[in-house]
Amino acid sequence: MSSELWSSAISMNLSFHTRSSSFSFLPTNNFHPLHLNKSNNTLYKFLHFSPSSRQFSALQHQLSKAPTHLSASSSASSSTANAEKEDKLPADIDITEITEPNSRVKLTVSVPSVVCEDCYKKVMQELSKQAKVPGFRPGKQVPDSILLSYAGKRNVERATIESILKRTLPHALSSVNEIALQDSVRIITSFAELEKMYASSNSLKFDIVVDVMPEVRWNPEDGYKNLKIVVEIDNEITAEVACERELKRRHKTLGPMRIVTDRGLQVGDVVVVDISAATLEEGGKDSQKIPSAESKGFNFDTEDAETVLPGFLDSIIGIRQGETKSFPLVFPESWKQEDLRGVQAQFTVECKELFYRELPPLDDSLAEQLLPGCSTLEEVREALLQRCRELEKTAKDQATDNAILDQIRKMVEVDIPQSLYEEEGRQMFGSKLLEVQAQMKLSDEQLASLTNPKTVSDYIEQEKENINQIIKQNLAVGDIFKRENLQVSTDEVVKEVENSIAEFKKHQQEYDEEGVRGQVEEVLEGAKVLEWLREHAEIQYIIR
C-alpha cells in the first residue's frame, strides 16, 4: 500500500466508518447508552501517524488484528500485562504523562538505546531469514554489512523504528489502558522526526495522545438519588379524552359528505381552502411572504381547530364557497417553528369547497361498524378505553423517562473527548441514513454522496449541541449503573441479542454479532437505570 493510499484510508477511517458493521444499529429502541460507558472497552484498532510512512502500514495491519473489545471477565491491565510477559523489553522505557483538556492524555515516551539496539537485532534476524541474498542459501546467516547493502540502510532503519513502536506501545499505554477510548490513540511525532532522531542518537522519543474515559462530576454529588420530577402530560393522551376522540373519529367515517350550497362555514364542517400569508412589518416596511404558511387545497376539519394557528378558525367562520377572506394573526411563542414565534402575519384564505357530514345517530345499531365484535355502544367505549389506557401508560412512561433523563443530564459536568464526540456523531448520522434508506431506495451514487466525509462532518457540526447533550446523558446513565451496582442477567442479553439478529436478518441487513451484543447490553443497562431512578424519584404528574 502506498503512503498516499495509506494516508487516505486512515483519514477515511477516522472521519467516517464506511464498513457495513458501522451501520449495525439496534433496530428498535429509542434509548441507547453509549458502549463507551464501560471501563473494559480499551483496546485501540487504528493508529495515526503524521506524516504517514509505508513502514507504518505493516504496523497498523498487525495491530488491527488485536481484539477491539475485552470480555467482561478480562481487563485492559491484564491484556497489557500479557503483552509485557510475551515481549519483555531489555530495559525500562521512560514515560511522562500530562493531562490535557477534553479528557485527553499526552504521553511522552523515551526509548533507551539498549531497547532500540534489541529491536534492530530482531529486525536483522528476521531480514536474514527472509531475504534471498545471492551467494547465501535460504536460512543461512547473512552478515549485517551485506544485509544493509542488500536491503538499504534507510529501509532497515525505518523497519527498526516500526519494531520499536510496535514493542513499546503496549508498555507506554499501560497506565491508561483501562480508561483509553477505542480508536483514539495518536502518535503525533512525525515519522521524519523519528528517522532523524534514531539516525543521530540510536534512541527514540515520541509523543502519544489518547482520549480517556471522561470523569462524570455530579452537581450536587449523588443528586440523582433524590430526584424531584414534574411530568407534564398532554390532556389529549389521557385515556378518557383519547377514547372519546377515537369514537368520534370512527363515527365520522360512517357519514357521507354533502356539499354546502346555501350557507357559510360552521363548526363541524369540512372546508377545502387555499392559504397564503405575509408578514406585517412595522413602519410601513415591505411585507414578506411566509412560504411555510402557504397551502393549496388544504383540507380542514373544523373540529380539529387545535391543529391550526389560534384564531384561524374564528377568522374563517361564515366563509362561503368561492369567497376570499383576509385577516391578521400572530404566531404564538409556543409555535413549533422558532423563526415564526411572535411574528404578525396577514393571512388570505380562499374557500374552494365546503362540505358537511350527514351522520347517522350514534347508538347501539352502529356498534359492529364502529368496532367489529361489539354489539352495544357501551362495549365499543369499553374496548376503546382499554386500548387508550395502554397507549396512555406508554406515553406517560416515555414522558417520565424523558423528564428524568433531562434532569440528570443537567446535573452532570463532563469534559467530552473529541473521539467520543465524533463517534456519537457518526452513530447519529448512520441512524439518520438508515431512516432515509427505509423510506426510499438509494442508488450507489446517492449513497456515496450522503456518506462522503464532508457531508458527515457538516452533519456532526450542525448537531453539535445535540450530540454533546446525548453524550452527557449516556455517560450519566452509565455512571449510575456502576455506582449502584446494577446488573443485567445473561438470559436477558441472550434473548435480546437473538431478537435483534433476527431483525437484521429479516431486513437483510449486515451486522456484527459482537457489536449487537454490546449495544443490547447498553440498552438493557439503560433500562435498569431508568427503572431504578423511577423507583427512587419523587414524581408529580400535571395535566396540561
Distance separating alpha carbons of residues 53 and 155, to the nearest angstrom: 11
**Lowest-confidence region among 122-126, 154-158, 286-290, 411-415:** 286-290
Q: Label residue 48 by pLDDT band (50, 70, 90).
A: very low
**What is residue 206's predicted lDDT score, i.e. its pLDDT?**
95
**What is residue 36's predicted lDDT score, i.e. its pLDDT?**
29
Check residues 52 and 472 and name the one with the higher pLDDT.
472
Q: Label residue 146 by pLDDT band (50, 70, 90).
A: confident
Q: Of all helices (H) and strands (E), which one includes residue 38?
A: none
Mean pLDDT of 523-528: 93
What are the helix (H) ranges across 255-346? 312-316
- Which grid coordinates belong to 227? 430526584
Query: Is-cis flag, bond preceding 51, omega within 30?
Result: yes
**Lowest-confidence region among 313-317, 388-392, 432-436:** 432-436
The answer as to CATH 3.10.50.40 being correct for domain 256-358 is yes
**What is residue 353's predicted lDDT score, i.e. its pLDDT?**
95
Distance separating alpha carbons of residues 128 and 143, to the nearest angstrom: 8
65-101: buried (b, 16+ CB within 10 Å) or exposed (e) per residue? eeeebbeeeebbeebbeebeeeeebeeebebeeeeee
Residue with cell 446523558: 473
Instruction: Tell whether the model's pLDDT for residue 279 goes beyond 70.
Output: yes
Q: Write the CATH number of the domain with boundaries 40-212.
A: 3.30.70.1050
Q: Sign of dihedral through CA atoms 186, 190, 194, 200? A: negative
Mean pLDDT of 464-483: 94
Structural domain boundaries in the chain = 40-212, 256-358, 390-543
**What is residue 11's predicted lDDT score, i.e. its pLDDT?**
28
Instruction: Tell whether the model's pLDDT for residue 263 goes beyond 90.
Output: yes
Task: Report the relative pairing of strands 538-543 and 228-233 from DSSP bridges.
Answer: parallel
Phi, psi of 437 (to 5 degrees): -65, -35
State the helix-helix crossing angle for 191-201 and 153-172, rounded to 10 degrees: 100
* Cβ neighbours of residue 229 closer than 8 Å, sequence gap 6 or more: 400, 403, 404, 407, 537, 538, 539, 540
- The proportion of the chain whose per-residue pLDDT surpasses 70, expressed as a percent, equals 82
Q: Label residue 105 by pLDDT band (50, 70, 90).
A: very high
**What is residue 286's predicted lDDT score, i.e. its pLDDT?**
65
**What is residue 446's predicted lDDT score, i.e. its pLDDT?**
81
- CA-CA distances (angstroms) from residue 293 to 244, 338, 348, 509? 30, 13, 11, 40
Mean pLDDT of 126-134: 75
Q: ∠ CA(413), CA(417), CA(418), 5° rounding?
A: 135
- The proportion of the chain whose per-residue pLDDT surpasses 90, expressed as a percent, equals 58
DSSP string, 173-236: TTTTTTTBPTT--EE-S-HHHHHHHHHHHS-EEEEEEEEBPPP-EESSTTGGGG-EEEEEE-GG
Per the prediction, the chain carries an average pLDDT of 80
Q: Tell me the pLDDT tens digit for each residue of 433-455.
A: 888 877 777 787 887 888 888 98
Q: Tell me the pLDDT tens digit for each residue of 20-39.
A: 222 222 222 333 322 223 33
Distance separating alpha carbons of residues 293 and 343, to the nearest angstrom: 12
Q: Of all helices (H) and strands (E), which one includes residue 154?
A: helix 153-172
Identical fold at 40-212 and 256-358?
no
**What is residue 37's predicted lDDT score, i.e. its pLDDT?**
31
Q: Label residue 431 by pLDDT band (50, 70, 90).
A: confident
Distance separating alpha carbons of residues 158 and 150, to the nearest angstrom: 15
DSSP conformation class of 361: P
State the helix-helix crossing angle for 377-410 and 513-536, rounded to 10 degrees: 100
Q: Sign of dihedral through CA atoms 96, 174, 113, 184? A: negative
Please give the single-letter amino acid code of residue 344. Answer: Q
Contact yes or no for 188/207 (Cβ under 8 A): yes
194-206: buried (b, 16+ CB within 10 Å) or exposed (e) per residue? bbebbeeeebbbb
**What is residue 135's predicted lDDT score, i.e. its pLDDT?**
65
Distance separating alpha carbons of residues 432 and 435, to the nearest angstrom: 5
Q: ∠ CA(470), CA(473), CA(474), 5° rounding?
A: 85
Check residues 432 and 404 and name the one with the higher pLDDT.
404
Q: Tell me the pLDDT tens digit for each residue of 59-101.
A: 333 333 332 222 222 333 344 445 444 578 999 999 999 999 9
**What is residue 47's predicted lDDT score, i.e. its pLDDT?**
29
**What is residue 138's predicted lDDT score, i.e. its pLDDT?**
66
**What is residue 139's predicted lDDT score, i.e. its pLDDT?**
62
Q: Tell me the pLDDT tens digit for each residue of 180-195.
A: 988 889 999 999 999 9
Q: ∠ CA(433), CA(435), CA(436), 5° rounding?
A: 65
In 3D space, the residue among 321, 330, 332, 326 whose CA is nearest the CA of residue 348 turns out to be: 326
Q: Which residues are registered as beta bridge partners of 11?
A: none
Instruction: Tell whether the model's pLDDT for residue 494 goes beyond 70.
Output: yes
Contact yes or no for 520/208 (Cβ under 8 A): no
Chain length of the chain: 544
Instruction: Tell whether the model's pLDDT for residue 328 goes beyond 70.
Output: yes
291-326: buried (b, 16+ CB within 10 Å) or exposed (e) per residue? eebeeeeeebebbeeeeebeebbebbeebebeeebe
- Which grid coordinates belong to 114? 539498549
Q: Sign of dihedral through CA atoms 141, 147, 151, 157? A: positive
Q: Which residues are registered as beta bridge partners of 167?
A: none
**What is residue 282's predicted lDDT score, i.e. its pLDDT?**
66
Mean pLDDT of 136-159: 79
Q: Tell me the pLDDT tens digit for each residue of 203-255.
A: 999 999 999 999 999 999 989 998 999 998 887 778 998 999 999 999 999 98
In 3D space, the residue among 47, 43, 101 whose CA is nearest the CA of residue 77 turns out to be: 43
Mean pLDDT of 373-398: 94
**What is residue 83's predicted lDDT score, i.e. its pLDDT?**
47
